[in-house]
C-alpha cells in the first residue's frame, strides 16, 4: 500500500453529494492529554459511515464535540450549514442519536418515554411514535415498561428516539455494545435497513466486522487522529500480505526475517503476517521447507479482513 493511500480523505470527497457532517482541525485537550488531535472528516448524505478505533482512540469525545456537549480546544464541527459550538441549537435540529447507552424512565412504557422526549423538542404525533417503534421492532412491546426491557431492546428504543424527529443524521455510539450475538445481529440489520432507506448514519464502533457488514464509508481513528478514511471497499489491504502458520513459529520468524526483514513480519494470534510480493511467496515456502519447518497454512491477502488493515495502520501511527 502506498503512503499516499494512507492519507485522510479530502473534505470535498463527497463530490456532488451534500456534506452532512464535517470536522475541521477539531482538537480537544484535557489538561496535558490530547483526546482529539486536528481531526478532519466528512460524512456524505446517504452514508452509513463507520467511525472505527480501539477503546480510548477518542471516538466518544468526538461525538460529544459533534453534539456540542464539549467545547473544542480548537477547530469546529459543521452540521450542514451550522457550525458547532457557535450554532449548536440550529445544528441539533438536524441530529438524532445518543452517546454511550441511551437512558430512559424505567417506570414508563416505551411509548410514553418517546412521547415525553418528543414533547421536549416541540411535540410529536402518536402516528410517528408508532412508526418508529415498528421500524425498530418494538411495536409488540410499545406499552411495556422500559424497566422490563433487555439491553438489546433498550438499544433499539434508543435508535427509535434518535429517529423520532426525522433528523438528517443519526449518530450511534457503540450501539451493539454489551449485546448478545442475536442482539448484535438485530441492531446491525436495523442500521443496514436505515441505510437502505436513505438515512445518513454515523456509527461509532470498535468492531471491525460490524463496520464491514453495514457501512459504505469509514474512518479509522487512533490516539485522537484519523489514520485513513474512505469507502470501506478500498480500506481492505491491497498490498501483498500473507498469513503463515507453521509447526515452529519461532524458527519460522527467524527464517522469514532473514528473507524479508524483521520489520515486515508481525504476529496475529497463531499466525505470522508477512509483507511479501506475490512472486516471493513460493520462495518463502521453499526457504521454510529448506530449514525443516513444516508449513501448515498460507492465507492470501484477499482472505484477510479490514482487521488486518486496522492493525497495520494503527501500528504505523503509533510508530510515528
Q: What is the CA radius of gyration of the chain?
A: 23
Closest CA to 44 of 92, 10, 5: 10
Does residue 311 form part of some domain?
no
pLDDT tens digit at each of 320 positions of the chain? 333 333 344 444 677 788 999 999 999 999 999 999 999 999 999 999 999 988 888 999 999 999 999 999 999 999 999 999 999 999 999 999 988 878 999 999 999 999 999 998 888 999 999 999 998 999 999 999 999 999 889 999 999 999 999 999 999 998 888 888 888 888 898 898 888 888 999 999 888 778 888 999 999 998 899 988 889 877 765 556 788 999 999 999 999 999 888 888 888 778 898 887 767 888 889 999 999 999 998 876 544 555 666 666 666 656 55
Residue 132 belongs to what H/E stretch?
helix 126-135
Which residues fall within 8 angstroms of residue 57, CB to CB, at 6 or more apart? 206, 221, 222, 223, 224
Which of these three, 177, 204, 234, is where a domain ends?
A: 234
Strand ranges in 113-222 using DSSP code E only, listed in sequence order: 169-173, 200-205, 217-222
Dihedral (Cα; 122, 128, 129, 132), 10-degree rounding: -120
Do 35 and 165 fall into the same domain? yes
pLDDT score at 75 = 96
Same domain, 295 and 228: no
CB contact at 8 A, 252 and 30:
no
149 lies in the same domain as 280: no
Domain carrying residue 257: 241-304
Q: Count how many domains the chain has.
A: 2
Rounded CA separation 92/90 (Å): 6
Instruction: Please check whether residues 83 and 135 belong to one and the same domain.
Output: yes
Which residues, 6+ apart, have CB-to-CB distance to 184 below 8 Å?
176, 210
Do 19 and 42 share a domain, yes or no? yes
Residue 19 lies in a domain: yes
pLDDT score of 201: 96
Residues linked to residue 221 through DSSP beta bridges, in sequence order: 226
- How do 265-268 and 95-98 pair as beta strands? unpaired
Q: Are residues 97 and 145 in the same domain?
A: yes
77 exposed, middle or buried (CB, 10 Å; 0-12, 13-18, 19+)?
Answer: buried
Q: Are residues 246 and 225 in the same domain?
A: no
Predicted pLDDT of residue 2: 37
pLDDT at position 177 is 82
**Cβ-based neighbour number of residue 266 at 10 Å:** 17
The set of cell numbers assigned to 313 is: 495502520
The pLDDT value recorded for residue 320 is 58
Instruction: Take residue 240 and report the three cell numbers written for it.
Output: 501483498
CATH code of the domain covering residue 289: 3.30.70
Asked if residue 201 and residue 288 are part of one domain, the reply reads no
The b/e string for 212-244 (b: 16+ C-beta within 10 A; e otherwise) is bebbbbbbbbbbbbbbbbbebeebebeebbbbb
Provide the pairing of β-strand 271-275 with 241-246.
antiparallel
- Consecutive H or E run containing 225: strand 225-231
Residue partners of 153: CB distance under 8 A and separation at least 6: 138, 141
Last residue in a domain, options 183, 199, 234: 234
Specify if 314 maps to a domain: no
The pLDDT of residue 303:
46
Tell me: do 148 and 47 sit in the same domain: yes
Using CA atoms, how far apart are residues 48 and 13, in angstroms rounded to an integer? 15
Smallest Cα–Cα separation from 218: which of 41, 10, 70, 1?
41
If asked whether residues 252 and 201 sit together in one domain, one would say: no
Q: Phi and psi for 6 in degrees, rounded to 5?
A: -90, -5
Looking at residue 298, its pLDDT comes to: 85
One domain for residues 91 and 144: yes
Amino acid at each position: 500500500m502506498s503512503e499516499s493511500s494512507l492519507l485522510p480523505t479530502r473534505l470535498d470527497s463527497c463530490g456532488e453529494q451534500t456534506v452532512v457532517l464535517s470536522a475541521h482541525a477539531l482538537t480537544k485537550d484535557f489538561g496535558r492529554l490530547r483526546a482529539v488531535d486536528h481531526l478532519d472528516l466528512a460524512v456524505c448524505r446517504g452514508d452509513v459511515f463507520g467511525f472505527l478505533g480501539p477503546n480510548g482512540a477518542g471516538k466518544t469525545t468526538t461525538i460529544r464535540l459533534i453534539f456540542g456537549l464539549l467545547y473544542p480546544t480548537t477547530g469546529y464541527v459543521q452540521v450542514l450549514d451550522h457550525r458547532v459550538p457557535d450554532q449548536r441549537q440550529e445544528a441539533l435540529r438536524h441530529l438524532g442519536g445518543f452517546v454511550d447507552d441511551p437512558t430512559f424512565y424505567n417506570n414508563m412504557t416505551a411509548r410514553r418515554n418517546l412521547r415525553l422526549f418528543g414533547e421536549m423538542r416541540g411535540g410529536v404525533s402518536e402516528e410517528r411514535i408508532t412508526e418508529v417503534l415498528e421500524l425498530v421492532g418494538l411495536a409488540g412491546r410499545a406499552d411495556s415498561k422500559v424497566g422490563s426491557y433487555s439491553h438489546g431492546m433498550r438499544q433499539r428504543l434508543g435508535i427509535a428516539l434518535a429517529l423520532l424527529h426525522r433528523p438528517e443524521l443519526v449518530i450511534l455510539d457503540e450501539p451493539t455494545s454489551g449485546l448478545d450475538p442475536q442482539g448484535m445481529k438485530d441492531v446491525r440489520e436495523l442500521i443496514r435497513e436505515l441505510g437502505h432507506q436513505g438515512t445518513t448514519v454515523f456509527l461509532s464502533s470498535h468492531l471491525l466486522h460490524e463496520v464491514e457488514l453495514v457501512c459504505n464509508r469509514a474512518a479509522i481513528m487512533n490516539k485522537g487522529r484519523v489514520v485513513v478514511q474512505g469507502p470501506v471497499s478500498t480500506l481492505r489491504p491491497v498490498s501483498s500480505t500473507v498469513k503463515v502458520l507453521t509447526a515452529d513459529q519461532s524458527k519460522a520468524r527467524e527464517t522469514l526475517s532473514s528473507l524479508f526483514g524483521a520489520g515486515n513480519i508481525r504476529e496475529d494470534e497463531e499466525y505470522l503476517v508477512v509483507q511479501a510480493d506475490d512472486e516471493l511467496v513460493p520462495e518463502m515456502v521453499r526457504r521454510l521447507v529448506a530449514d525443516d519447518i513444516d508449513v501448515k497454512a498460507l492465507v492470501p491477502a484477499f482472505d484477510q479482513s479490514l482487521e488486518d488493515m486496522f492493525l497495520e495502520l494503527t501500528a504505523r501511527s503509533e510508530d510515528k
